[in-house]
Amino acid sequence: MRVSLNEIQVICRKAFEGIGFAPGDCDDAAEMIARLQQQGLDGIGALKKALDFLHDEVDRPIETCYEDATQLTLDAHGQSVLRCAAQAIELGVGKALRGGSALIRVRHCHNRILLLGYLARCAGEGLNFCVYWRDARQELVATFSAGNTHPALRVYDLPQPAQGDEQSINVLISRHFALLPRLSAADAAPTLEFSQPAAAGGLQVNDEVWAQLKKLGERVLVESTEESRRRGAGEGSDAR
Amino acid sequence: MMSHTDTDTSSALRPTARVMDLERLGSHFQSRLSFVRSSMRRMMNEQWRIQRTCFDLDAEGFGTAIYRIDTASAHYHCVIFSTYLPPEKRSDRVIADQWDVSFVLLAGDVDEQQLADLRRNVPLQEAGRFDSRVLVLSRANRSLRNFERFLEALAEGCQPDPRQLAEVGYLYRTTAVYGNGKFGIADFSCLQGTADFTQPFSAQMFTVYLLRHFSIEQIEHMARARNPQRAVGLDPALQRYLGVGNSTGLGMAPFLINHPQLVNQWLWARETALAQVVAQAADLPHAQRFQALLLRARRHLQQTSTEDQRQSGIDQQTLADLEQLAEWFAGQSVNAGLWSRLQAWAEVNVGTGCQELLVSLLLELYPEQVDPLAEQMSVNEGFRLNAEMPLDELCDLIETKYRWALDYDLSDAEANHFFWYRSAEKEEPRLGERAMEPGAEKEMQLGIAHNIQRCHRALLAYREQHPRQLTAHFLLALPQFKGTVCRLQGMARCAFGEIRANLMDRGMLPIHLLRCKLAFFGAGKFDPKSSRWVRITLFQGAPLVSEIGQPFPDDWNFAVMPELTNAAGAL
């Protein structure tokens, strides 16, 4: 089905609220997912995948493992990247503006693709971004050149299952150089490329996923009773 | 567009604490900056062409009407479906599922297939699906009393009694006017392509104006059908005095809390306009114009009726104040500082209602100063975290800009009396009593003061442990405060925008929120049905479609009842 940008934002906000995220995270999620959808990156699909993990979401601090003038490594301890995307990126932007470049790394986090939806906010800073992460089978590399709100995203198959610290996401930020995705390699072939913005006139989403999101959003609704119908919206509100 | 900051003409603007007081916001009146005024100005100045291309109604007024609208840059269609509504189904609540009329404003043309699609979906409203060619989706119910009386009079060759319109100024009352992407229609950003609807709510206001036009044509059609020999058209003076009603409840209230940057922009424009007007050197023509406007506003308010005791009391007080103001003004010398003296006098001598009515009157006096501000009512919303703000600075910000929030005693039960929630019944926003009703765990986050206090407490404790850290570090340790911090950092740069009230307080009246937004729309004749529900009238006094292209004084605020020479006698 086709939906408006506003509908995507509203349903995301409500779905995240329904799961129990803090209001600030719900707002961020709404914007990030809508942005991804606009960029043709199936933010709604990413949200759906994310939701499978989120029932175990825990409310914990984000740990700072290391920080200096150009680097920041955080550990999200299994939480959604949503909880720290703003803090991590904005600190990184500050470091890159001062020092010329920065490397931000968030370990043990979920919904990593959502981070791409945040970066559009930083388009006006004159910085180049390169974001990469791996899951079990693929490596994803997104590059934003300065001033651009749309990333070039490449997905590479990994020849063997990745090991080690794979629930991390890495963001390279630089004022002076742009990183491009590798163009060709013997051991990897790009499988998808999304660099076109979605067309105006509504955004295409999967009906089933949409229905599931709506259902999640309904968790924020309070059951209606005769009493609440009568008094909750204002006595006499049915005046003819 | 940047939101306007404290540094812009700040010393000339009224203090934030006064402007953002909830009761004062709830005392606003329509003004030159209202969206119906700027919409009308655009239609008239650009000579929009509105033509009826289909009017397929039966004798009862049921059927389809289509209007085509041509502007300088684009064309649109308005498609209206009028259908029989069983009396027991007629309701203004958002939980209604059938209405007397349902209608849309579309970009471009409408073909047969699209018309069939619309015919299926538009009457369903929220239960239907729409695409981005639809710009506005709305519905309205008849004012049964007026409908019948108008029909009777016109069919007999008479004009209806103007007093009916003074009491209930419309034939139709909208109960929702949707824009910005609801149910699949076009996002607001899609309207930025042409010059026609770039200002917030301008597309919605225009659609309401078309409903007013339709209501006139429909009632005349029905009168002719009832009595072809004797029926007459509605007198133009009555046509102008006919507006469109609107019924608004709690659904509108969260908007003002959730869009503080937009609210800031509107109030900045209003206060800036006021400051610019007050700075003008008064002369005799302007003083006389002021007196004429004052007289008209008094008559308009005298003709405003409501059964709500609180509102009625307020209106009576405002009328008494206006009389006093008129007397004082008549005794003043007309010289350069007159407006400034007037404003200072009013601050001390009359109530809030009269003070805010005075703002509306003053805004009429110097159109060349005020009208450009009506084109600056939109803003790019969104807060971006200032990650590197030192904790001391963040603390200072809260303690200065949000002192008002820190000063509430929120430990008191009265301060937590209400909670706002969305009902499972069509997501209708409702107010619940925390101590008595279930659902508080799902409450909407409208307690800005509460959030600020919680954040401040946590921040003080964190700063004690980590005095040299930055805001981002605080939010890494305590991510739940991210929303509050982003908002307060962003709003600290705005002069206005944060409504100074505890929205959970027992004494809080939601109607103040409704009135503030509705006044910006251009509403008149505020008629509360409770502290959570209000009826208003839009476009009362506005020029007619047939008058587009004729000289336009742009002076139709505070419409007063016309005197007709041959009005119908008995009611």
DSSP state of B159: B
* pLDDT at position A180 over 50: yes
Cβ-count burial of B49 within 10 angstroms (0-12 exposed, 13-18 middle, 19+ buried)? middle
pLDDT at A201: 72
Count CB-CB contacts under 10 A for residue B284. Answer: 8
CA dihedral of B423, B427, B431, B432, whole degrees rounded to 10: 10
Q: Which residue of A has its CA nearest to B193?
A: A200
B94: left (phi over 0), alpha (psi -120 to 50) or beta: alpha
Q: Do B423 and A222 touch (CB under 8 A)?
A: yes
Mean predicted confidence (pLDDT) in A161-187: 75
Q: Nearest 5°: CA angle at B165, between B527 and B371?
A: 70
- pLDDT of residue B315 exceeding 90, the answer is yes
Q: pLDDT band for position A164 (50/70/90)? A: low
Question: pLDDT tens digits for B393-435?
Answer: 999 999 999 999 999 999 999 999 999 999 998 888 899 999 9
pLDDT of A146 reads 87
pLDDT at A230 over 80: no
Within an 8 Å CB–CB cutoff, is residue A78 touching chain B?
no
Q: Are residues A157 and A138 in contact, defined by beta-carbon separation less than 8 angstroms?
A: yes
Q: Is A57 on the interface with B (CB under 8 A)?
A: no
What's the CA angle centered on B370, arms B367 and B374, to 5 degrees?
Answer: 115
Average pLDDT, chain B: 94
A147 backbone φψ class: left, alpha, beta (φ>0; ψ -120 to 50): left
What is the distance of C-alpha B314 from the center of its chain?
20
Higher pLDDT, A81 or A147: A81
What confidence score (pLDDT) does residue B571 get? 34
Which of A27, A90, A235 has its CB closest to that of B387?
Answer: A90
- Residue A189 binned pLDDT confidence (cut-offs 50, 70, 90): very low
Contacts of B421 in chain A (CB under 8 A): 221-222
What is the helix, strand, coil percentage profile of chain A, to 5?
40, 25, 35
Tell me the pLDDT of chain A averaged across its residues: 82
pLDDT band at residue B566 using 50, 70 and 90 as cut-offs: low
Look at residue A159 in the predicted model and tell me its pLDDT: 76
Query: For chain B, what is the largest distance between any 2 Cα atoms, rounded to a whole number of angstroms?
Result: 88
Quick check: B528 and B514 in contact, CB under 8 A?
A: no
In this complex, is the C-beta atom of B532 within 8 Å of any C-beta atom belonging to chain A?
yes
Inform me whether the pLDDT recorded for B186 exceeds 60.
yes
pLDDT at position A182: 67
Provide the pLDDT confidence category of residue A44 given band limits of 50, 70 and 90. Answer: confident
pLDDT higher than 50, residue A154: yes
Share of chain B above pLDDT 70, in %: 97
Q: Rounded CA gap, A181 and B379, in Å?
A: 36
Structure confidence at residue A163 as a pLDDT band (50, 70, 90): low
Eight-class DSSP state of B251? G
Least confident of B224-233, B243-252, B481-490: B243-252
B418-423 and A221-222 strand pairing: parallel
> Quick one: pLDDT band at residue B257, thresholds 50, 70, 90?
very high
| Low-confidence winner among A102-106, A152-156, B108-112 (lowest mean pLDDT) | A152-156
Task: Report pLDDT digits (tens) over B24-74.
Answer: 999 999 999 999 999 999 999 999 999 999 999 999 999 999 999 999 999
Residue B3 has pLDDT above 60, yes or no: no
* Minimum-distance CB partner of A7 among B93, B181, B531: B181
Q: Across the interface, which of A5, A201, A234 has its CB nearest the CB of B530?
A: A234
At which residue do the structure tokens 């807060």 appear? B383
d(CA B206, CA A6): 21
Distance from CA of B288 to the nearest CA of A (A): 42
- Are the beta carbons of B385 and A84 separated by less than 8 Å? no
Confidence of residue B8 (pLDDT cuts 50, 70, 90): very low
DSSP string, B417-466: -EEEEEETTTT-EEEEETTT-S-GGG--S--HHHHHHHHHHHHHHHHHH-
In contact, B47 and B33? CB cutoff 8 Å: no
Cβ–Cβ below 8 Å for A7 and B481: no
Interchain contact, B473 vs A64, CB within 8 Å: yes
- Reported as a single tens digit per residue, the pLDDT across A110-150 is 889 889 989 888 878 889 999 999 988 888 899 988 888 78
Residue B380 has pLDDT above 70, yes or no: yes
CA B163 remoteness from chain centre: 25
Q: How far is A214 from chain B (nearest CA, A)?
A: 12
Instruction: Please answer yes or no on whether B382 and A3 come within 8 Å at the CB atom.
Output: no
A55 has pLDDT over 60: no
Beta bridge partners of B172: B142
B85 shares contact with chain A (CB less than 8 Å): no
What are B439-488's pLDDT values in tens digits?
999 999 899 999 999 999 999 999 999 999 999 999 999 999 999 999 99
Q: Shortest Cα distance from B462 to chain A (angstroms)? A: 13
pLDDT at B124 over 90: yes
Q: Which of B180, B423, B479 is the closest to A221 by Cβ? A: B423
Q: How confident is the model at residue B94 (pLDDT cuts 50, 70, 90)?
A: confident
Residues on chain A touching B249 (C-beta within 8 angstroms) = 233-234, 237
Q: Which of B91, B188, B472 sits opposite A238 (nearest CB)?
A: B91
> Nearest Cα to B176, choosing from B235, B236, B224, B127?
B127
Nearest to B187 among A5, A23, A63 (CB): A5
* Interface touch A237/B532, C-beta < 8 Å: yes
pLDDT at residue A54, as a whole number = 63
What are φ and ψ of residue A235, in 5° steps? Answer: -60, 140
Using the Cβ of A87 and the Cβ atoms of chain B, whether some distance falls under 8 Å is answered with yes
- Is residue A130 within 8 Å of residue A143, measured between CB atoms? yes
Given a cut of 90, whether residue B160 has pLDDT beyond it is: yes
pLDDT at A192: 44
Q: Which of residues 304-363 of B touch A (CB under 8 A)?
A: none
How far apart are the C-alpha atoms of B470 and A94, rounded to whole Å? Answer: 12
Token pair, residue A100, equals: 């010329």
Average pLDDT over residues B179-185: 92
pLDDT tier at A237, thresholds 50, 70, 90:
very low
pLDDT at residue A21, rounded to an integer: 86
- Which of A179-183, B164-168, B182-186, B346-350 shows the lowest mean pLDDT across its residues? A179-183
Task: For chain A, say whether B479 makes contact (Cβ under 8 Å).
Answer: yes
d(CA B352, nearest CA chain A) in Å: 25
Q: Which residues contact A130 (CB under 8 A, 6 or more apart)?
A: A141, A142, A143, A144, A171, A172, A178, A179
Helix H or strand E encompassing A110: strand A101-110
Q: Which value does ipTM take for this structure?
A: 0.90
Interface of B with A in 373-412 (CB under 8 A): 382, 384-388
CA-nearest residue to B447 within chain A is A23
Residue B570 burial (C-beta neighbours within 10 Å; 0-12, 13-18, 19+): exposed
**C-alpha distances in angstroms, B503 versus B308, B497, B498, B510?**
22, 15, 12, 8
- Residue A90 and residue A111: Cα distance in Å, rounded? 18
